[in-house]
Amino acid sequence: MGEVVVARILFLAIAALGLLAALGTVLSRNLVHAALHLVGFFFCVACLFVMLEAEFLAAVQVLIYIGAVAILLMFGIMLTRNTRGDDATSLSGPWRLPGLVAGLCLFGALVFGINNAVSPSGASPWAGEAARPSLVEREGEPAWAAERRRAVEDMGRVVGEEFLTRYAMAFELAGLLLTAALVGAVALAHRDEVGAAELPPTVEALPADSAEPVGTAAS
């Protein structure tokens, strides 16, 4: 059972690192440092996906969260005036307690939800080692075990098949949601043509305090 011990140790190490990164996210004064800690946490989550034999999800986790959401966060930080974290970035006093309560409630809801998850096909859920299908074929195993083994071995394909058959509606709704997000962002952030036209077109960035342009675009 050497593998199980190695796996446990790895899990504990990754979980501990993830916790540290999460703490760093909350406690960092500097916003970019906080975002970096968050990236570290995303990476730990990707490692956990690998340990759960979901390498497709691990790759997606890195692609979406580290490759895209982190960039979005950084650009978001560059939009704010407070990039150094010198001013108060943390919550003010009266908001601390409600924040703590809300966080604990969310934690409780997640723990309850994950532990009582019902798998959609009616088979026993993945949680709990006894019900986990083996990657090695066993005699007399139920049909869902073979199905799940296929899902583990070629996750991209099975996810695709499920998307296009059982979850077709959810799939299209996801497309609609993405479009809505795009349209919403554009509508919120975009200034009207008239306003934009009045801005000097060559200024790429303006300092927060002075009106003097620091850099000019290539055009």
Partner 1 sequence: MVAYNYVFVGLLLLTAIGFALAPLALVALIAPRKRSLAKGDTYECGVKTHGETWVRFRIQYYIYAIMFVVFDVETVFLYPWAVAYGGLGTFALVEMVVFLALLSAGLAYAWAKGVLRWV
Partner 2 sequence: MDVGSALYGTPLFAQSHRVDLTVSTCVIWGLWLIVGFAGLFPGIVAYMVWLERKVAARFQDRIGPNRVGPFGLLQSVADGLKLLVKENIVPRSADQVVHLLAPVLVLVSAFLTLAVVPFAVGLVPIDPPSGLVYLIAVSSISPLGIFLAGWSSHNKYSLLGAMRAVAQLVSYEIPQVLSTIPVVLWAGSLSLVSIFDHQVAYGWNALNPPGFLAFLTFLIASVAEVNRTPFDLPEAESEIVAGYHTEYSGMRFGLFFLAEYLGVFSVSCVATVLFLGGGTPLPFSAFPVNLLDGSVGSYLLVDGILLAVFSLKVLLFVFAMFWVRATLPRMRIDRLMNFAWKYLVPLCILNIVFAAIWYEVVVRPGALTARNWAWGMIAAGLPVVLGVQLVFRANRKLAAARAVDADWPTVGTIAEASR
Helices (H), the chain: 2-27, 31-51, 55-61, 70-79, 96-115, 143-153, 155-164, 168-189, 193-198
Select 78 or 174, whichever has its Cβ closest to partner 2: 78
Residues sharing a CB contact under 8 Å with residue 37, sequence separation 6 or more, in sequence order: 21, 22, 23, 24, 25, 28
- Contact by Cβ (8 Å): 149, 137: yes
Q: Which residues on adjacent β-strands are paired with residue 215?
A: 205
Taking contact as CB under 8 A, which single stretch among the options 57-65, 89-97, 100-108, 182-190 is the one that binds partner 2? Answer: 57-65
User: 62 is in the binding site of which of partner 2, partner 1, none (Cβ under 5 to 8 A by kind)?
Assistant: partner 2
C-alpha distance from residue 36 to each of 28, 43, 61, 63, 209 (Å)? 10, 11, 16, 16, 27
Contact map string, positions 81 to 120, toward partner 1, x by CB under 8 A: x-xx------------------------------------
Q: Does 74 bind partner 2 (CB under 8 A)?
A: yes
Residues sharing a CB contact under 8 Å with residue 165, sequence separation 6 or more, in sequence order: none
Closest approach of partner 2 to the CB of residue 106, in Å: 27
The site for partner 1 (CB under 8 A) is made up of 2-3, 50, 53, 55, 58, 60, 63-64, 67-69, 71-72, 75-76, 78-81, 83-84, 135, 156-161, 163-165, 168, 171-172, 174-176, 178-179, 181-183, 185-187, 189-191, 193, 196, 199, 201, 204-210, 212, 214, 217
Judged by the rule CB under 8 A, the positions of this chain that interact with partner 2 are 30, 32-33, 36, 39, 53, 55-56, 59-60, 62-63, 66-68, 70-71, 74-75, 78, 135, 153-157, 204-205, 214-219
